[in-house]
Structures are given as C-alpha cells and as structure tokens.
A and B are shown apart, each in its own frame.
Chain A
Amino acid sequence: MSNPNHDKGEHYLTTPKAEPFLERLIFNNRAVILIGFLLLTVFLGYNAVKIQPDASFERMIPLEHPYVINMLEHRNDLENLGNFVRIAVETKTGDIFSAEYMETLKQITDEVFYLDGVDRSGLKTLWTSNVRWVEVTEQGFQGGTVIPDGYDGSPASLEKLRQNILRSNEVGRLVSDNFQSTIVYAPLYEKNPETGEPLNYATFSRQLEEKIRNKYEGQNPNIDIHIVGFAKKVGDLIEGIGSIAWFAGITILLTTLLLFWYSRCITGTLVPVFTSIVAVFLQLGALRLLGYGLDPYSVLVPFLVFAIGISHGVQIINAMAVEAGKGFDAVTAARLAFRALYIPGMLALISDAFGFLTLFFIEIDVIRDLAIAAGLGVAFVILTNLVLHVLIMSYLGISKGGIRHVQNHGEKQDRKWRVMSYFAHPGVAPISLLIAVIGLGLGLYYKQDLKVGDLDQGAPELRADSRYNLDNAYIIDNYSTSADVLVVMVKTPVEQCTQYNVLRAMDSLQWELQNTPGVQSSASLADVSKIVTKALNEGNWKWYEISRNQTIINASIREAPSGLINTNCSLTPVLVFLEDHKAETLETVVKRVEVFAKANSDDEHTFLLAAGNAGVEAATNEVIANAKDMMLILVYSVVSLLCFATFRSIRAVLCIVIPLGLTSVLGEAIMAVSDIGIKVATLPVIALGVGIGVDYGIYIYSKLEKYLLEGKTLQDAYFETLRSTGKAVMFTGVTLGLGVVTWIFSPIKFQADMGFLLFFMFLWNMVGAIWLLPALARFLLRPDQMIAKARTAK
C-alpha cells in the first residue's frame, strides 16, 4: 500500500491514458517550439528592458465616479488649485529676520523661478512682488511689497520687514507662526504651455532635491528645507519603485536556494528559475508593447508571476522525478509529467488568472492595469511552465540525485505524513472544525474595525517616517494649513458666479461644513467678499458681511485670487480644509455636502462634488467600498465554478472553498488590527489571495479524490495524498510567500501592506488546505457515493 509506484493514475481527469492532442503537438515539434520561444523571448525581452516607470495621477483615481467626472469636466476652470509644491525654508537658530537668511531665501526664490514646470507668475515668496501688505488710512489704502524699498539687510530694514510681515496677513501662510521659516509657494503647470509636454514628476522632484535641498542645505548648514506637494510625492514614489530591483534580486536568490534544497538537482533548480524569469520578461515586454508603464502597483506583478512560475514548476519537477524514478528516459518522463499535470496545472493557473480579472470590475485604472498585467503574466506562465519548462527538461532530464531524493520516502518522512494524516481522523476533524469556527468568530469580531480608505496622517502612500511625511508634518505643525482639501464646485450661468444669492448659498454651505466634525476651515469667494468689504469700510469688523448690494460685491472681489473665479465667471469653488483623510471624515463631510447640494441647487447655482485630493479620495473610497463585495462575490463564484466544473461535486467545492473563506476573514481581521484600510492597494490582495490560494486546494483535492476512488479510507487516502503532493504544496506556499515577503521593506507604504497581507494569505491558504480540507472532507465527502458515481460515469 505504501508503494509509491502503484498509483498509476486511473483518474479520468488527471491522467488520461491516451496521448492528448496537445502533448503530441508539443513533443513532436520540440526544436521548432524552443526556437519560437527563443525569438519571442529576445523580442519581448528587448521591450521589457525598455519599460518606463509611470505614475500618472489620472490612472490612480476612479475616472467613472461622478465626482471625478465633475472634476475633470471643470479642470480647466480649477487651474492650479491642487498642483503646487511648497518649500519651507527653515533656519535652525534664531529667526528669519537675519540678512543671511533673507539672502538664502532670495537665492532659492531665483532658483525655483527657473525650474522647468513652475508657473512663474504664481510663484510666491517674501521676495516676490505679489506678496504685499496693506493698511487703511484716512485717504484710503496704503501698501507695498513686504520687502521694504531699499532693503539692504541692515537691522533697520529687517525691522521694517518684520512690521510689513505682521501687516501682511501672511503669518501662518507664507511665514510660519514661530517666525523660523517661510514658504516658497510654486504652482506648477500640468503641461508645459510652450511645448505641451506633460510635467515629468520624476525629473522635477529630482531637481528639487539637487538644486534646492542638497544645494542650499550644503551651502548653509543653518538651513533646513522641507518640501511638500503632489509633484514631490509622486517623484518620491517613482524613486521608491527603484528599490524594487533589490527585492527582485533577493527574491530570486532565496527562491533558488530553496528550490535546490527541495529538488537536490541543479537542472531541476535552474530550469524553473530560468523559465519563470522568461515569463517575467515576456510579461513586461508585452506590457510595454500594449503601451503600459510600470506604476507602483503593477511593478509588483513580476514578483507574483515569478513566484507562480516557480510554484507550478515544482509540480513538474516533482512529477518528472517520480516518472524518471520508474526508469523512464527524460523525454518520456517529461511527456508523462505533462500528461499528468496539464489539466490541473492549467486549471490552477486559469483560476489564478480569473482571480486577477475580477479586479477589472473596479473602476480605477491602476487596478485594471494590475489585472491586465497579472492576467498577462499568468498566461505567459502557462506557456513557459507547461511548454517551455517541460521541453527544456525533456532535453536535460532530472539528475540522479534529484530522483533519489524524490524516491527517498524514508520511514521518517512517512511518520511525519502519518501524523499529519490524522487531520482526517474522525476524532481530530471535529476539533479542527471547532478551532476553525472559533477562528472565524474571532476574525469576524476583529474585522468589524476594518475601515475603508487611508488611515494615516500625511501622504499615505509613503511611510510615516519618510522624508516627505516628516516634511509634511513640519509644515502642518508650523503653518495654518491642511493638506486635505475637498473642493465643492459651484456652477452658475455665465457671468453670474458673483451674485449675492450665489455667495450667500456658498457661505451657508461653508457654515454647515465648519459645523461638521472633521472640518478644519473653509474658503470661498464669500470669504473674500466679506473680508474685502470690511477692508473697504476702513477695516471695521462690523462690516464683515456679504453685502446685498451687487456693486459692493463686485468691488469686493475685484482682486480675488484667479483660482476662485473661472474666466467667464460660471464656476467658483468652495475649498474645505479637513483635519484628516480618514474614510469616516470624508464620508461625513461628503454626505453633508450632498444633502445641502440637493436642497439648494437651482438655476442660479448648482453645487457639484468634488475636486481636491479629499474629493478624489472620497470617490475612491466609495468605489472601493462598493467594489469590494462585488469583487469577493465574483472571485468566489469564479473559483467555485471552476472547481465544480473540474470535480463535478458541490461537496468538493465546499472542501476547497471554505478554507479560503476562513483565510479571507482572518486576512480582513489582520488588516483591521494592523490599521490597514481597504484601499486601491489592498483590495487587489483579497482577489489575489483567493485566486492563487485555491491552487493548493485543487492539487490536494485532486489527489485525495483519486485515492478515495481507489477505495481507501479517508485517512489512508489523505496519507497517500500528503506523501505524493504534500511536500510540493508546502513548498508552493513557501515560494509564493517568499515572492512577496520582501515588499514589506519597500519605502512605499502600500507595497509593504500588500506584501504583508499577501504573505499571510499565501501561507495561511496553504495551512488551510493541508489542515482544514481533510477535516471538512471527513464531514462532507461520501466516498461510497463518489465511487458509485465514478462507476456510472464510466
């Protein structure tokens, strides 16, 4: 019974007797196919090398969400409300009122002025002429630039500068509350107005580092530079993609060592690694030909492709070694391995691919790109693993050491599998189920805290202690500004955007929002009108009100910032500054705006959500929250259907899918406990975890079924299953885990989150398949009926 050679696979599915057509096609044209692969690899490999990093803003947002549609429709009217960098120049000792500091600031101002991409007319620092102070006198207004006329760095002119700054209303905006730093505010062009070329974030960010930060911090050790803004963040993200190369190297090395430990055969180690790398090159090359770049999400797909390639390659090596051990030559062993594995292998890979493709239902381009990249990758793995790999092995064969290693089913090994086969024992199975139910309960309990969206302060893409987030924290602490802005667009008939009723409605919305938890402050044309009306009335606060007199309103907004009125005065924004970008905050605020907009939109003014980073995040959260259930249902349906199609038994499907469900629940609980929200980065993990996790169940169940049909008791059948495939399955789990675990060290926070979660799901799905599947089988499977059914089928 323990003879490994007796199981000459009588199963109707896994080992058909006849040579299938595909097998003949492939093995009769071995050389031609290999040359074909060589050409394809050279061609796509050449393209793969040339693939470019790409982090486009638009690809990361849900383009089909109404908020985003509104935003994009009016993006020309909302010029530069979002895209700017702020550079805080801090002096470590003393304050900004020193000749040396002001000189450095002047040089930095000039340097920033000449950076490509900066909208020079909007550049603001203490040194630009658009930063002014104003005072009311008996004759009217009096004012000037904050840098006094004839500034010469003398104590007298610095004192004058101090007075001007205090009169200028810039404390908290351009000048920090503690007078130890000032801001260089640089709005950016999305597209170069002369050449029409889009801003290159990577280059721009690098220039900020080299020409501003390194240069001036080096020149003046008393100066600290802090830079924030979307362009800088994206630049840092692109920079972070670079560190991926290290992870790739480490992953390949570890996997190779592990593979050798497993197979004890040089060919059996190097060929799977080689073919998996080929799959990665094919995937990357095809991606580039399809016009894609590598964004911070899709850059992770090659790791998955590599890991999937290896884990399935192991099955081939294992099968070939078994066949070779029976005395077959390399070609025959390869043929038999192919014959035995091409259906379950393809099934497993196709279910991986379908798992990825369910991501396509999330209306965010980066996730769809991820789906395409991963789907493509798995398609290539099917080719490289089941064709290229098998063909190369048919030439090289498994080494003797490798064959001996596979045949070496020593007493020790068997004892281990014997112990583990008790998972199927009638006394142990109920305990396993009880533990699973308790685990499920705990999982469901903790998962209640699972949140949608980003939970951390600052730029959630980057780590809390990253340079960018430290800079961001500095600016939040020292200036009265928030980085989380929701923009409500107010649409009016042409030339009507400054009507009293419009301003009054905006003011009402603002007050409603300022009384909403999570809102820090707000700003709109209504504020400008009130503050200037006050100023026009000799600075008397008693006049702080929107006048009903349109002539006064028009006078009050004559000098309003251009971003607050579009060119034909048909759109004006309300900017809402939020305390954070937690999903609850966004949801609360957005709901209030929606209720208000519904009640107060009419012919004179329509309130539209939403622009600003918080608007986009609110839309993203909504899309993700809605997509999550849909995606889970889809991925589980697809996996269940594929399993059902293969095994023709609902009981089989339950045995395979229930452990996956437990993993999904526990995965969400772990997310909740580790403060990882469901977001663009982590939603795909759920699909990937299920899609790839099902492989274990498929390999184990197909063997288990085979032995049961041979008439073995459940525990014996499971023992044989473990002997033949247990090691390969465990190895698969470890390889997949290794493939993603290095991401945990990524400077990009969401990559680390993804790595951590996938690592957990890959390993735990393996545990689920080995431990829980047999326990479920004890309760769900009816071996007698299965045998009867198999007979009638024959």
Chain B
Amino acid sequence: MAKRLTCKTVGAACLGLSMAWSSPAAFALADIIETPARQTDLATTSLLNDAVLAGDRIVAVGERGHIIYSDDDGKTWDQGSVPVSVTLTAVDFGSDTHGWAVGHSGVVLHTEDAGESWNLQLTGIEATELAIAGKEAQIAAMEERVEDAPESEKEDLEWAIDDVVFTMENMQSDLDIGPVNPLLSVWFKDDQYGFVVGAYGMILRTEDGGETWEDWASKIENAQNFHLNSIASITGGALAIVGEAGQIHVSVDGGDTWERRESPYQGSLFGVIGTGQVNEILAFGLRGNMLFSTDLGKSWRMVPNNAGATLNDGVVADDGRITLVGNGGTVLMSSNDADSFREHFRSDRAGIMSVVPVSGTNLLIVGESGVTIIDARGKNLQ
C-alpha cells in the first residue's frame, strides 16, 4: 500500500521510472562499437575532445560516442544519433553537410546531414587489416629491393624488413584482441578526399568519401610507429601532420607524398594549425612547447610562453589573433602573429581540448568539463 501511494503522489517520477525500464540497459551488453550512444543531457557537460564549424553550425565530439551540434553559437545543443559508444577524438567537415568523426576502436563515422545522424564507415578491425596489407606490400617491395641492392646495403635492408615484419606481427596480435587502437585526428578536403591518422603511426586515405580506404603509412617516415596526433591544412594549401617524438610531416602535393621535417623539439606535439599567413605553421604540444615556422617547416623558431601545460588546439580569428588552449585550463593569446603569447589559466583548471570562434570575439571551448563560451581573454561570459 505504501508503495502504491508513493507512486500515486509522485506520479510524474513513477512514470519516468516505468519509461526508463523499457529504455536502454534492458539488454545484455553488446560490444562498445555496436552500442549506440545514449541520448543524454549530460553530453554537453561531459568530456568533449574536438569541435569544428560546419557552415554556421558547431559540431563537437567526445566520450561515449557523444556528437552534439549547435546552430546558435553554442547556446543550445542537440545530440546526433551515433551507432557507437566509444570515446570520439576528432571531427572534421569536408563541406557544410559532409563530415567525419574518428575515435577509439579505430572507428570512422560519417554524416551527410551536418551531424544529425552518423553511420559507421570503418572500424579498427578493417583499419588494422588495411595496415597489415600495407605492411605486406611494403615488405614485398623491400624484398624486391634487396634482390637488386648492392651487397653492402643488403644487411641494412634486411634489418629494415625485420622491423616491418615485427610491426606487422604486433598488428596481428592486436587484431586477436580486437580493435584496440584509436584514431586521433581527421582532415577532409571536400566530401570525397581525406585522411585519418592515429595511434602507432596509423594513417589512412580515402578518395571516395570513405567508401574505401588505403593504408598510407608507407608514405610517412615513421619507422618506430609513433603516434600521429593531428593533421591540418596550412594556409596556402599544404598539409601538416604532427605527432609523438617531435614528428612533423608536411605534404605540398595534397597528401600524395609526405616529407619529414627536422624538429627542434623531441617531445610530443598534439596540435598543428595554419596562422592565416601563407606557409606559416604553428605546432604545439607537451608542457607548452610551441614551434613556429614561416617556410612550411624548413626552419623553426621556439615560441616562449608561460603555459607550462600541454597545448591541444588553436584557432585564428578573422583579425589574425591566435588563441591556443590546453590542459589545466590554459588559454594563450597572441595578437602579433605568434611572436609572443599572453597566458590565462581558467579557474576550474579543467583541460581544454578544442576551440572555435563564435559571435564577436567570443570563443567556444570544449574539453574535460564539456562546453563553455568564453570571451577573448579566456574568462567566462556572464
């Protein structure tokens, strides 16, 4: 009797309860890449790893398969329907409507309606199989070269083959566990052509909007299979990839071939952006280390700053001001083309993963604690 009464008096709550019984969770757990992301109000306050503009729309991705979008500069958000629940790491749009998101378990998701619905194009299983195929091709090519190589170089080449075989075997054993490795960044030129990059040197290219993918690792000089953390286009048309161990790769032919640049810094780089000036690159990473180049990475200058914390992403406003964001609530600002930066540490010290410009000089940041709109100095808007 008491129970029934309680229910009667809190009718609304009870109704909510019985509805909840019939929704999610009432099935045994499927694999995380077969579990659709839950629709939840918490998506805007949970971890978000990346945010981009798709036309006037902001689209952000994060943990548990969350993809949210806003058409009013981040004031209100809707959640896209996503077939997976993995942590998503990056998103990019090739056009106003065609976008790709990547994440853990090697997933690549695709939308044709500006982020409202997403379908799974690729998983880590296929990605690893492609990578293994790539390695096999590489080994075959190298073996051919051994045949033709002069005796003095043979030993070195065989060592190199052994390295590749070892990498391939590692990939095989990863595959036995499942899709273990994450993709970490994505870039699309239009609704057809793009790259995804990720852990342990993973890089794939598509020329048909993600229908088919090709392993591109052999084009990158990364024998130790360090992580590739970020890919971006540079003003003027070049492409840049940065990664673990100070890797910087630049392509001037739209991604067909890549050249490794000498880096003055050997720690991890997490982000790379163009500054709006032709051939200028700003790369940044661990402990506030920041590198600036005006010649597509042929020469670098370290940019001194007081960030101290890892820098994750940056954005250039129409007026040329540069804002970088990072861990520990770090916001860096430059209005003199990256000559120097002023720092601000947000009081919540929450990690910031990405930044996009919104109305006026305001910025929208996403990260550890979800979405926040801040002013040009990094402070919360009232």
Contacts and interface: CB of A to CB of B under 8 A. Distances in A.
Contacts of A675: none
Interface of B: 1-3, 5-6, 8-10, 13, 16-17, 20-21, 24-29, 32, 35, 38, 40, 42, 47, 49, 63-64, 86-87, 89-90, 104-105, 174, 177-180, 182, 184, 229, 266-268, 270, 286-287, 310, 312, 327-328, 349, 351, 353, 367-368
Contact of B21 (A171, A449, A451, A595): A595
A547 B63 CA distance: 13
Nearest to B244: A538
15 contacts: A138-B267, A138-B268, A449-B9, A450-B5, A501-B29, A538-B286, A540-B310, A541-B368, A548-B180, A587-B17, A588-B13, A595-B26, A596-B25, A599-B25, A625-B2
A192 interface: no
Given A138-B286, A548-B178, A548-B179, A511 B38 contact: yes
A194 to B, nearest CB: 43
B42 A514 contact: yes
B180 A600 contact: no
Interface in A587-626: 587-588, 591-592, 595-596, 599-600, 602, 624-625
A591 B17 contact: yes
A544 B47 contact: yes
Nearest to A625: B2
Interface residues of A, number: 50
B368 A629 contact: no
Given A545-B86, A592-B25, A625 B3 contact: yes
DSSP class of B's interface residues: helix, strand, loop or mixed? mixed
Nearest to A551: B177
A584 B13 CA distance: 8
Given A511-B38, A583-B6, A625-B2, A138 B310 contact: no
A600 B179 CA distance: 23
Interface of A: 136-138, 166-167, 171, 447-452, 501, 504-505, 508, 511-512, 514-517, 538-545, 547-550, 583-584, 587-588, 591-592, 595-596, 599-600, 602, 624-625, 628-629, 678
Nearest to B367: A541
Contacts of A549: 174, 177, 180
B29 A548 contact: no
B28 A538 contact: no
B87 A544 contact: yes
A138 B29 CA distance: 39
B27 A504 contact: no
A515 B63 contact: no
B349 A166 contact: yes
A547 B180 contact: yes
A544 B1 contact: no
Contact of B17 (A167, A588, A625): A588
A46 B287 CA distance: 75
B1 A629 contact: yes
Contacts of A624: 2
Top 10 A-B residue pairs of the complex, sorted by shortest distance between their CB atoms = A138-B267, A545-B87, A542-B89, A625-B2, A545-B104, A548-B180, A512-B25, A629-B1, A548-B178, A549-B180
Contacts of A544: 47, 63, 87
A508 B29 contact: yes
Nearest to A514: B42
A515 B42 contact: yes
A515 B287 contact: no
B29 A542 contact: no
B38 A515 contact: yes
Contact of A515 (B40, B180, B327, B328): B40
Contacts of A591: 17, 21
A584 B47 contact: no
B105 A548 contact: yes
B229 to A, nearest CB: 8
Contacts of A505: 29
A577 to B, nearest CB: 15
Contact of B13 (A517, A600, A629): A517
Given A448-B9, A625-B2, A629-B1, A541 B180 contact: no
Given A136-B286, A539-B310, A592-B20, 19 more contacts: A136-B287, A137-B287, A138-B266, A138-B286, A448-B8, A450-B2, A450-B9, A504-B32, A514-B42, A540-B312, A541-B368, A542-B49, A542-B87, A542-B182, A544-B87, A548-B177, A584-B10, A595-B26, A600-B28
B210 to A, nearest CB: 20
Contacts of A539: 310, 327, 351
A588 B9 CA distance: 15
A550 B229 CA distance: 23
A450 B16 CA distance: 20
Contacts of B312: 540-541
Nearest to A542: B89
B92 to A, nearest CB: 14
Contacts of B49: 541-542
Nearest to B265: A138
Contacts of A538: 268, 286, 310
A160 to B, nearest CB: 14
A63 to B, nearest CB: 21
Contacts of B35: 508
Contacts of B8: 448
A515 B66 CA distance: 14
Contacts of B286: 136-138, 538
Contacts of A452: 2-3, 6
A511 B16 CA distance: 17
Nearest to A169: B349
B349 A541 contact: no
A599 B27 contact: yes
Nearest to B13: A584
B270 to A, nearest CB: 6
Contacts of B182: 542-543, 545
Contacts of B5: 447-448, 450
Given A583-B6, A591-B17, A628 B38 contact: no
A624 to B, nearest CB: 8
Contact of A628 (B1, B266, B328): B1
A540 B6 contact: no
A440 to B, nearest CB: 16
Nearest to B17: A588
A588 B20 CA distance: 10
B329 to A, nearest CB: 10
B349 to A, nearest CB: 6
A547 B182 CA distance: 10
A650 B368 CA distance: 71
Contacts of B368: 541
Contacts of B327: 539, 541
B187 to A, nearest CB: 15
Contacts of A447: 5
Contacts of B47: 541, 544
Contacts of A588: 13, 16-17
A512 B312 CA distance: 30
Q: Interface centre among A171, A540, A600, by most B CB within 10 Å? A: A540
A326 B174 CA distance: 106
A456 B241 CA distance: 57
A362 to B, nearest CB: 13
A512 B24 contact: yes
A171 B5 CA distance: 43
A254 B367 CA distance: 68
Nearest to A540: B270
B90 to A, nearest CB: 8
Contacts of B63: 544-545
A517 B1 CA distance: 24
A381 B27 CA distance: 60
Given A517-B13, A541-B47, A548-B178, A628 B2 contact: yes
Nearest to B327: A539
Q: Interface centre among B3, B64, B90, by most A CB within 10 Å? A: B3
A596 B28 CA distance: 8
Nearest to A509: B25
Contacts of A171: 349
